[in-house]
Amino acid sequence: GNSVTQMEGPVTLSEEAFLTINCTYTATGYPSLFWYVQYPGEGLQLLLKATKADDKGSNKGFEATYRKETTSFHLEKGSVQVSDSAVYFCALSSIGGTSYGKLTFGQGTILTVHP
């Protein structure tokens, strides 16, 4: 079955530091890949997505590239801000058969950014 593995957290950074959160996946076929973010006290929001190999999703300074050869979708940001403190979830969506539309989530990574 499908699975998503994220780097263990929590991650603590100083403001303006470079961020990488690793995500690897196992899936049959060609899933779509997503990063979701959950800010303190708020609901789950879609941050970015990529639907095919070599696609790069980007939003709010965050980027992730769909790497089929390494089955990875690592999240990066060049300069984090205190407001980026949140929980980040990597997820994949099956696009065919009876599993269509179902999201499989990684375990989540807590990011804390200090001033």
Size of the site for other proteins (CB under 8 A): 23
Of the CA atoms within 13 Å of residue 54, those in its CB half-sphere come to 0
Q: Which stretch binds other proteins (CB under 8 A): 16-24, 56-64, 76-84, 88-96?
A: 88-96
Q: Among 38, 114, 25, which Cα is nearest to 70's?
A: 25
Asked if 30 contacts 53 with a C-beta cutoff of 8 angstroms, the reply is: yes
* Residue 59 is a binding residue for other proteins (CB under 8 A): no
Smallest distance, other proteins to C-beta of residue 16, A: 29
Residues between 34 and 53 with contacts to other proteins, criterion CB under 8 A = 34, 36, 42-46, 49, 51
* Residue 108 is a binding residue for other proteins (CB under 8 A): yes
Measured in residues, the chain has a length of: 115
* Residue 107 is a binding residue for other proteins (CB under 8 A): yes
For 109, counting Cβ atoms within 10 Å of its Cβ (0-12 exposed, 13-18 middle, 19+ buried), the class is buried
Report the interface residues with other proteins, using CB under 8 A.
32, 34, 36, 42-46, 49, 51, 89, 93, 95, 98, 100-108
